[in-house]
Each structure stands twice: as C-alpha cells, then as structure tokens.
Amino acid sequence: MKSKRTRLDRFISQQIGINRKNVRTMLAQARLKVDGHLATDIHQFVDEFTQVMLDEKILQAKVPVYIMMNKPIGVVSATKDDKHTTVLDLLKTSLDEKEIERLDIHNLHIVGRLDFNTSGLLLLTNDGRWSRMLTTPEHKIAKLYKVSLANPIDESYIHAFAAGMYFPFEDITTRPAKLEIIADNVALVTLVEGRYHQIKRMFGRFQNPVIALHRLAIGNLTLDGLSENEELPEGAWRELTNQEVTALA
C-alpha cells in the first residue's frame, strides 16, 4: 500500500484541474485552509486524512477509522467473499447507512489476517500507514495467541520456539517466539511476525496438530470491551479509543 502523502500544490492541482503554479495565487488570496488554518506554503505535505478547504468548500475531510473485532471461527478475514461471511459482513449487519458512511466501511482493510478456523482479535482500518506499522516485523509488535493442541507439550517446545525454526520452502528462519505452557495441551505463543500458517507449522515440527487457535492480543491491545472486566463478545466489534490507537503506534 503506497503512501498517500503529497504536496499541497499537487493535491489542489489534481482535485480541481488547475496548473500547480496557480496555487501560489490562491495562497496569497487566503483562499486555502488546511486542517482549519490558512495555508501559507505550497510545499507543505497533506495526507489522506488532512482536511483541505478551498473558498470554505471542503475538498477532503476523510477521517481515520480504527476498529477491533472478536472474529469467530468460520468467518473470512476479507472484505469480500462469494461463498463465506466476511468480517465486513459482520460490520454491515449492525450499521445503518449513515454509520456505514461515517466509518468509511468500503475503504477499510484488515490489519493482519486470521485464518478461517482461527478466532480472536482482528483490526480493521482505513489508515494504511498505521496498518503497515503494525504488520512490519521490524516494528516488533507482539501478537499473543492461545493454542490448543492434540497432544501434550513439554519444555522442548519452549526452546525450539525461542531458537526459531527454518522453513526450507521459503528459505527463512522464523524470529524467536515465546511459548508458555499453561496446561498439558494448551500454550500461549507470542510472535513478532506472521508467516503463512506459522503457528500450525511450528507445532507441526513436533507432529502435534493445532485444534484451536485464538488471538488474544496485539501489542498491549486485548479483546476487552470498554467496561471494566468485560470481554468483547464473539462476533462483536467496537472502535478503538484515541489512547489505544496511539499506544499501538
């Protein structure tokens, strides 16, 4: 997803079809406002969420949207699918037309997909820079999963996950992962990357099938509702608070 930052003169030129040189005249005439303030520099950058006005007419007023959902098993991490219910379908069924427009539903994308048979915390946004930050391994945003397995696990798993595992098909070695045993057949796994079916394949090295996988947290964000000690119900969603968005970034 490419950055949507651009210079003010280029933005105005593209929006109303004038020569970029004419934007200087507009600035001198105090006709342009950026985020409520008179624009003074044609070289300043605007992005997709910058409010831009010309002669008090809004040219752009897109608002960033950040949503968390407790994705159920059997729902596709996609915005469109001809065969299965998608996470976007779950959103739409609970919204009227005004809310669909306010939340910019049709421009949302998924931040780190979950498999069809994986449940738990899923994020959606229309902010490409934010989602890139969360999904790029270099930023080391931890993702916490609860894993239920067919067979018992022991401390050898802990060392193997911490050392990383080599996958010859992609010719990559996974980054160190933390594994905590919480029951004979249940573990908590923390990753800072998201390779294809990574957790299932790592346990596959031990011939131990994963029978349930649930994402509990991304960074310090968990599946909590807004009320104390309340967990977001399966299939439910809510918008993130400004504090939560900032904390993840």
Give the residue numbers annotated as catalytic, written as ranges: 115
20 near 10, Cβ under 8 Å? yes
Report how far residue 199's alpha carbon sits from residue 207's, in angstroms, rounded to the nearest whole number.
13
Residue 137 contacts by C-beta under 8 Å, 6 or more apart in sequence?
175, 192, 193
- Provide the token pair at 234: 């399966």
